[in-house]
Amino acid sequence: MNYLELWNSAWPAGLTMLGLGSGFSVVLLIASVKLKVEVDPKIEQIQQALPNLNCGACGFAGCAQYAKGVSENPELLGRCAPGGPETTAKIAGILNLQISDSGPAERPIVHCRAQTADKTYYAKYQGIATCTAANALANVQACKFGCLGFGDCTLACRFDALDIIDGLATVDYAKCTGCGACSRTCPRNLIEMVPFSQDNMMTVACSSKEAGKSTRGMCKVGCIGCGICAKKSEQFTVEDNLARLAYEKYERTEETEAAFNKCPTGVIIYVGKSAPKPRVLAKKAAIANNKE
Amino acid sequence: MSTLNTLLLGFISIVLINNLVFTKFLGICPYLGVSGRIDMAFGMGMAVTFVVTLSGTLTWLIDHLILMRMGLEVTRYVCFILVIAGAVQLVEMYVRKFFPSLYESFGIFLPLITTNCAILGLCLFIHLWGIDNLPEAVVLSFGAGIGFTMAICIMAGIRENLNLADVPECLKGAPITLITAGLLTLAFMGFAGMIR
């Protein structure tokens, strides 16, 4: 077979394909004009501005859905916790909106500071190793308010910002994005989302509403509701044997510093980035010295 | 009358007896992939029905009017795939315009109709069975789509109920789905030989 014969048998095939192809392309061209879907370019821009972590902190299934939602309803602005104010500002820019300062970003505070050595146990728990399961059991540990330490919150956290250290949930504030998943997961509601007006915040790391004597019997570091902090600073209030800070008007003053220094159980601590160390109680220090 | 009879028998044959999914094992990918929920399965079936009817008809026309007359049977596969891809593009635009939620839930499976072997399979079967008139080709194509829709909807119905069943741990997910598919096929084997 020479080249001419090959060519003669090949060109009708090529021409047919070309004809069919162009026929279909014309049909598709007409269809694409007739059936055009207008996609708002803003939605795409917003989605690119979002962190695309799909964490669900905004209340939508994912970043794509939030982008669509916020473009239709600007009231949803500022729901993106991982993105923070920068992302909100970007989205506002895309939507041509002006935003007022929405206040400091929220971060979780674990209202318990009892590690395994500080707690009292009646018996050894050998059930399912989750907080939710353990919480159903009344006597899993003496304190009915404190951290169970099975780490449901560490599983809920998508950012690896929570660890169980010596039986206590501990937040790594460098990794935390403030999505609030841990706060929603904790079966004992120990984790509160607090507006962090400063890098580190003072807090009463206890949730026990038992009477002071009873708390002291169960936990070495619990709040006994003595009220010394409330006397030292107006920012503290004591209710149900439990001291609390008013975070809305939190300010570091000499008074709060005095409360920090006078707290008999040392339950007032700093949390957050580069937080000052908890106060070492005189008694504890003495015991530690003796051991040495 | 005899023409009508042939058409009716052809339709029943392709839906029940020579069902592409159950007896030819074509189109298994969407059959297992999109049969999670019955509404999505029905949407998928409708999309496939549209594409298969359109491409079955068009490929018969192209085959008989162009390819066979010019002795270009060798380009049959390429031309058929071209037709199918064009039809799928059309469906995709249509669904995106008029059923956006369906479009989102289909995801990748909608453009994947292009590579659905049931469709190319049917176009080639029409040639293989020696169908030489247009009405029969149209009815067979439409019937193949209806057969696919029926198969995927039955499967979706079973799988929706399967979610509530106490399936042994080792069979959860894909294994039990494949077993179900096998049992369904066995059941449809009962139709074999009904029309000679």
CATH number at residue A186: 3.30.70.20
Asked if the Cβ–Cβ distance from B67 to A16 is below 8 Å, we say yes
Residues A230 and A171 in one domain: yes
* Widest CA span in chain B: 60
Question: Is residue A99 situated within a structural domain?
Answer: no
Tokens, residue A171: 């937040």
Interface test with A, best of B65, B80, B82, B91 (most A CBs within 10 A): B82
Q: What percent of chain A has pLDDT over 90?
A: 19
Residues A84 and A122 in one domain: no
What is the tens place of the pLDDT at every residue in B109-128? 778 888 888 899 999 999 89
What parts of chain A have a pLDDT lower than 50?
none
Q: How far is B72 from chain A (nearest CA, A)?
A: 6
* Chain B touched by A37 (CB under 8 Å): yes
Is the pLDDT at B139 greater than 90? The verdict is yes
**pLDDT value at position B143?**
94
Write out the residue range of the structural domain in which residue A253 sits. Answer: 106-285
Q: Rounded CA gap, B126 and A186, in Å?
A: 63
Is the pLDDT at B188 greater than 70? The verdict is yes
Residues A51 and A133 in one domain: no
Residues A70 and A112 in one domain: no
**pLDDT value at position B158?**
93
| Closest-approach residue (CA) in chain A for B59 | A20
Question: Is residue A124 situated within a structural domain?
Answer: yes
Q: How many domains does chain A have?
A: 2
Q: How many domains does chain B have?
A: 1
Is the pLDDT at B2 greater than 90? The verdict is no
Question: Is residue B176 situated within a structural domain?
Answer: no
Cβ A100 vs Cβ A158: under 8 Å: no
Q: Rounded CA gap, A238 and A255, in Å?
A: 16
- Angle value at C-alpha A213, between A208 and A214, nearest 5 degrees: 55
Cβ neighbourhood burial of B172 (10 Å; 0-12, 13-18, 19+): exposed
Tokens, residue B80: 């058929």
Cβ neighbourhood burial of B122 (10 Å; 0-12, 13-18, 19+): buried
Residues A162 and A220 in one domain: yes
Question: Is residue A214 situated within a structural domain?
Answer: yes
Is A147 in a helix, a strand, or coil? Answer: coil
**Cβ-defined contacts of B181-185 (< 8 Å, 24+):** B181/B28, B181/B31, B181/B32, B181/B155, B184/B22, B184/B151, B184/B154, B184/B155, B184/B158, B185/B22, B185/B23
Asked if the Cβ–Cβ distance from B97 to A35 is below 8 Å, we say yes
**pLDDT value at position A290?**
62
What is the tens place of the pLDDT at every residue in B170-187? 988 889 999 999 999 999
Cβ B177 vs Cβ B160: under 8 Å: no
- Record the pTM: 0.55
What is the tens place of the pLDDT at every residue in A221-232? 899 988 899 898
**pLDDT value at position B178?**
92
| Neighbouring-strand partners of residue A272 | A200
Cβ B14 vs Cβ B145: under 8 Å: no
**pLDDT value at position B196?**
58
Asked if the Cβ–Cβ distance from A13 to B66 is below 8 Å, we say no
* Chain A touched by B9 (CB under 8 Å): no
Question: Is residue A29 situated within a structural domain?
Answer: no
ipTM above 0.90, yes or no: no
Residues A135 and A280 in one domain: yes
* CATH code of the domain containing A88: 1.10.15
Question: Is residue A114 situated within a structural domain?
Answer: yes
What is the tens place of the pLDDT at every residue in B81-114? 988 998 888 888 888 888 888 787 776 777 888 8
**pLDDT value at position B53?**
92
Cβ A248 vs Cβ A265: under 8 Å: no
**pLDDT value at position A44?**
85
Q: Token pair 């979002």 is at which residue? A: A50
Q: Which phi and psi angles does A171 have, rounded to 5°? A: -90, 135
Asked if the Cβ–Cβ distance from A20 to B79 is below 8 Å, we say yes
Q: Of A13, A21, A37, which is closest to B96 when you measure between CB atoms?
A: A37
Write out the residue range of the structural domain in which residue B57 sits. Answer: 39-146
Banded pLDDT at B33 (limits 50, 70, 90): confident
Asked if the Cβ–Cβ distance from A12 to B72 is below 8 Å, we say yes
CB atoms within 10 A of CB A211: 13
* Chain B touched by A6 (CB under 8 Å): no
Residues A252 and A110 in one domain: yes
Residues A162 and A77 in one domain: no
Residues A57 and A111 in one domain: no
